[in-house]
Chains A and B, each alone.
Chain A
């Protein structure tokens, strides 16, 4: 079931960057890619529950700040050791300058 919520303003995030968003006891990471598209994933690394929003975004990859696990944030795909479990992703849309994500 869809449950669209407002995560942040579109210009809260720089291009090729990430921001943490907490809602209802859950934590998410919202990304803006170099080509200005927005994406959302679970906020914690699947390896040791580290907040990914403290990590570095390069192109379409987010790197965990602790153990350098890498994910393609567009698909959630884990890109090799030490991470082997993919990140969950969420649908995103931008409406009226707001980034909305579907956490349903």
Chain B
């Protein structure tokens, strides 16, 4: 068993292959020089912690040894030879596989404006380390993109005392997949923290010492950071002739167009039964972990389909946002005001079925309700709108009703 990509999905795959009883060889190939580590801290504690940061390991040396796996770091798979079933590494080594898992992840999109090469992006530990050092040495920062990465970095930069400007070309932050009621809470929190938010404003250039907006205004910044989305890493799969469709195209069992090659995590697209078999691609921590579990079971002969409800979180300041399901599939929403500082939005499709829930609150104030919503979504439940809107109606009761 060979796995290319040593992020969350790759690390999880190693563990689950052994847990599922595979006794043969396991090789994990990672480009970075580090063993697999957890990425969520990179935009948050890694920047803000006073102490020198250290990776949060997903697979430590001792675990790798106890699993009897070979982990190759600081090397890159440069080709897949599907005829002889072997992976070729940059240093010339060839590694044969019975089954291969592609967990190649995604790479940050780069700005195409003049000066785009001056901009920092954040994906791996090295990026995080550069960003931390540079932000700590800067009095001002401009962040391009009001998505999760941009907003989390904005919150971290404010915590360090940087003057922060955030520039979003869309009419509001978090346009993709987050309802306005939730985005507005996050927007207000950033404004309260002193971030200067410029929404509906394009960028025309990045210069040394700042950025120029489309309307000609200049914003001074000692560091410019872009968080404008990520593209799936499909180069290796493309060159190997695998089908590509918004990522490495898989079936519901996460198998690619080659029966001996599977894919998991940010790099792959797959049809999701809960959403009418629509092909989707998810970039999230839990998806990477869950998909690795399913893909590895199937690499060992299973026929499991991936049906988990998509779930995502983002922490900014004292707020945590969580989303379950696919809000984009909804035609209407129902608001539940949980408290002064916590709100839930339920997303319903045309038939009244719950297809997503999103929420924001202090700490983990909405976590439990989002978890229950996730279970309701998984059951294709269609709770009535009045119950969903009423904070006095427990979602657990609605779940029990849906299960009855």
Contacts and interface: CB of A to CB of B under 8 A. Distances in A.
Interface of A: 16, 50-51, 54-56, 63, 65-68, 81-82
Contacts of A67: 285-286
27 contacts: A16-B396, A50-B364, A51-B363, A51-B364, A54-B363, A54-B364, A54-B365, A54-B367, A54-B368, A55-B364, A55-B367, A56-B367, A56-B368, A56-B371, A56-B372, A63-B371, A65-B364, A65-B371, A66-B313, A66-B364, A66-B367, A67-B285, A67-B286, A81-B12, A81-B15, A81-B289, A82-B289
Nearest to B365: A54
Closest A-B pairs by Cβ, 3 of them: A65-B367, A54-B364, A65-B364
B395 to A, nearest CB: 10
Contacts, number: 32
A82 B38 CA distance: 11
Contacts of A54: 363-365, 367-368
Interface string B7-25: 0000010010000000000
B178 to A, nearest CB: 19
B18 to A, nearest CB: 12
Contacts of A68: 286
Contacts of A16: 396
Interface of B: 12, 15, 285-286, 289, 313, 363-365, 367-368, 371-372, 396
Contacts of B363: 51, 54
Contacts of B12: 81
Contacts of A66: 313, 364, 367
Given A68-B286, A81-B15, A81-B289, A55 B368 contact: yes
A16 B365 CA distance: 18
A94 B313 CA distance: 37
A15 to B, nearest CB: 10
Contacts of B364: 50-51, 54-55, 65-66
A50 B15 CA distance: 23
Contacts of B367: 54-56, 65-66
A51 B365 CA distance: 11
Nearest to A65: B367
A54 B338 CA distance: 14
B42 to A, nearest CB: 14
